[in-house]
Amino acid sequence: FILIIFLFLNSNSFSQQDQSSTITMQQFKEKLKNDKQIIVLDVRTEEEEAGPLGKIEKAINIPIQVLEQRINELEPYKDKEITVICRTQNRSAMAVNILLKKGYKAKYVLGGMTAFKEE
């Protein structure tokens, strides 16, 4: 419930986030194919990862609900860009905001796993 309220109150800031924080699905798929060093963070729950949209093989799974408590797990990647994905892009946008505030470089995938599965 609190997460829903947070999303509602901050929806304007996420929709107005500048494009330097985003990556298109086409760009993401190219990076997956060509960049062996890509760091992908999936902020969906483990249940969602096991669901019909599937998961990206090399993705690190840290659900958005516990990202701030587990952010130290991403410390080895602090000097690299982290590409964040979720189901649609709402939670990944939130995650990017958290990561940027903590000094990480991050972008979220427009359309999320829904778009990934469609293309």
Tens-digit pLDDT profile for residues 55-91: 999 999 999 999 999 999 999 999 999 999 999 999 9
Active site residue 80: no
Catalytic residue among 86, 106, 109, 115: 86
Sign of CA dihedral 24, 27, 31, 32: positive
Q: What is the pLDDT of residue 19?
A: 63
**pTM given for the model:** 0.84
Q: What percent of the chain has pLDDT over 70?
A: 83
Task: Identify the three-state secondary structure at position 20.
Answer: helix
Sign of CA dihedral 15, 114, 70, 105: negative
Taking the C-alpha atoms of residue 70 and residue 22, their distance in angstroms, rounded to an integer, is 23
In the prediction, which pLDDT does 18 show?
55
pLDDT of 47 > 80? The answer is yes
Average pLDDT value for residue range 89-102: 96
